[in-house]
Structure 1
Amino acid sequence: MKKRFIFLVAVIVALARQWPLLACTGITLHSKDSACVLARTIEWGGSDLNSRYVIVPRGYKQQSFLPSGKTNGMEFSARYGYVGLSVQQKDFVVEGLNETGLSAGLFYFPGYGKYEEYNEALCATSITDLQLVSWVLGNFKTVSEVKEGIKNIHVIAIDPRASTVHWRFADVSGSQLVLEIVNGKFCFYDNTLGVLTNSPGFEWQMTNLNNYVNLYPGSAKTDELRNLKLAPFGAGSGFLGLPGDVTPPSRFVRAAFYQSTAPQQNTALETVLQGFQILNNFDIPIGIEFSKDEDIADIPSATQWTSVTDLKNRKIYYRTMYNSAIRCIDLNTINFGKIKYRDAALDSSKLQPVHTLNLFN
């Protein structure tokens, strides 16, 4: 256990020291057949996150890691089965869906959050931030239950040098909640917009949208400047000034406008596919986050995977930097009362499949 703890701390600190390479973009869509669909990306340009999916049955027991490396952290069992997507190792689920239709995910939040200091006397109710998603998915059905339940625990960091995170929770009713921990205090926000990125805080990001009140879908009208005729160069000029860089504030603005102007689809599946299409705009090429004198990681993309979750129909979809084909895990096909705990790599092969068309048969 001690060796594993030391390894985990090393991984977490490595991520923390390169937090400018960390990014996440989340959006929310609703179909005409009343499905709520959450989509998000996860970026890390430093190395392969070796992401896995986990299937967690009811009754599965876990224990939180502690900064001390001891094994007496908070114990928790899953009342509800769930499917999660993890990074670095299976205990760190960063996005998931449980059998009741509750979604939970974490987004990096460097420089603005601050957890409470670890208190050894409270170890039995203390859980590391990277395990909170697992605890939430295993124990709650609604965002209101999450909000009440979290008040009874202490969220801590394994290592104080690590970046903080914030969380997004949503249920089948369409309710969505953002949790940020600032100066050791829980700060909850109703996320009616349904967008989330990284730092600064959620309230600031929402206020910043007012800087783009001039944007609108469609094209600008022709105008005259004295005797000079002015006309748009092409379609979409109403969005001239929409920020295109990959910083969290710019991605928040772009996601808000892309999501809000997207036509509503008829079905949940059409909406899922729409979510992937919108988030294609947020794929981060591997080179742009590094200066000229830095070594660039040997991976295809800084956007390592994109997931889309259909809360109503209990399905979680994903595609990865190695394979752009969309894959689906249908929770309706899983008997969470009988299945054993399972984890597996998101990709069985780290090579994009290419299919050559046979045009003459």
Structure 2
Amino acid sequence: MCTAITFATKDHYFGRNLDLDFSYNETVTITPRNFKFPMRKVDDLSSHYAMIGMATVVEDYPLYYDAINEAGLGMAGLNFPDNAHYFADIDGKNNIASFEMIPYILGQAKTVDEAKKLLENVSVSAEVFSADFPTATLHWIIADKEKSIVVESTKEGLNVYDNPVGVMTNNPPFPIQMYDLNDYYAISAHPLEHKFGNGVSLHEYSRGMAGLGLPGDLSSKSRFVRAVFTKYNSMCDDDELSSINQFFKILGSVEQVKGLCEVTPGKYEYTIYSSCMNQDKGIFYYTTYGNSDIHAIDMHKVDLDGGKLSIYKLNKKLSVSYDN
């Protein structure tokens, strides 16, 4: 399971936690404008917007988990089990495999509105990448510097929802997640005057009691509520270091610690990496479970007119700075 968020100070940021019980050897990968994306059912993308993101590269093909393009449009795929449904080829539609969705959208769209236009004729194909990489059950968040949407392919077809809170997790479907925020109507980051009953003497014996009821478990519904609450009450300066630090703090409020969520006997889901992408500057920041240091890769420091991928292995080893 995972959590994705948008965030804005002076610049605009997009990123996610990847929560799984195993790793596919992810790398930060820059795809330049003239790298050829072979497409299974539509014309190949031979020329497109450059992009940077986290991907597993298989036979020189970047299977992106999350990315932004050079225009600042971001997109991430998150697990959507039991609800995601992909289709056999439909005549008259652009049949796009789930693993092609990120390059297909980010390669051609600069904004959410342009992405919506592309999605009008898309059907998510059940085509698999290979026998070693079966189809993942995904839904997607797409965000530019002003707005975001959620894209869900279900048995009813392709659904595109406006996302006014700029947060997405997993199940249930997005409209239900948004409606369920109403259950937390009374929660606040500020002290409240109690309304338990006239004449009943009550007092706050601890700071933060106005947040009683905010969920703290690891379910996708609870992470959605907590991420929205944390994002909307978060405060920081608007410089780059303050912004990215705060972004990772927001994601940290919903990160998964190894050992708390058993998937199969002896295997536990945990936050493998967290990403933060500056949509204005094209910089990809990340931390890993084993290394909380923030690392950065700038897409504009490579030749974006080239035709070859630039791949950066993750720094997973923690270093300690001794002060005495």
- TM interval, shorter chain, is 0.7 to 0.9
| Matching residue's letter, 2:265 | E
Sort the Cα spacing of 1:139 and 1:59 in 2 relative to 1 into closer, same or farther, 3 A.
same
Give me the identity figure in percent.
Answer: 27
2:4–2:76 Cα contact (<8 Å) kept:
no
Find the aligned partners of 1:243 and 1:178 in 2 and give their Cα distance.
23
| Matching residue's letter, 1:233 | Y
Aligned to 1:175: 147
Structure (1/2) with the larger strand percentage: 2
Find the aligned partners of 1:289 and 1:86 in 2 and give their Cα distance.
24
Aligned to 2:177: 205
Matches within 5 A, 1:1-361: 23-31=1-9, 33=10, 35-45=11-21, 47-64=22-39, 75-87=44-56, 89=58, 91-118=62-89, 125-158=94-127, 162-172=135-145, 174-183=146-155, 185-221=157-193, 229-263=201-235, 265-290=237-262, 294-296=265-267, 302-338=270-306, 340-347=308-315, 350-357=316-323, 359=324
Secondary structure of residue in 1 paired with 2:292? coil
1:163 deviation in Å? Answer: 4.6
1:167–1:179 Cα contact (<8 Å) kept:
yes
1:53–1:85 Cα contact (<8 Å) kept:
yes
Aligned to 1:3: none
Find the aligned partners of 1:227 and 1:155 in 2 and give their Cα distance.
60
| Matching residue's letter, 2:72 | G
1:342 deviation in Å? Answer: 2.1
RMSD of Structure 2 on Structure 1 (CA): 2.7
| Matching residue's letter, 1:165 | L
1:26–1:195 Cα contact (<8 Å) kept:
yes
| Matching residue's letter, 1:316 | F
1:97–1:311 Cα contact (<8 Å) kept:
yes
Structure (1/2) with the larger helix percentage: 1
Find the aligned partners of 2:156 and 2:195 in 1 and give their Cα distance.
54
1:229 deviation in Å? Answer: 4.1
Find the aligned partners of 2:197 and 2:123 in 1 and give their Cα distance.
61
Deviation per residue, 1:5-52 (Å, 9 max, x gap): xxxxxxxxxxxxxxxxxx111222221x3x22223111002x223111
Gaps of 5+ in 2: 129-133
Gaps of 5+ in 1: 1-22, 66-71
1:328 deviation in Å? Answer: 1.3
2:15–2:66 Cα contact (<8 Å) kept:
no
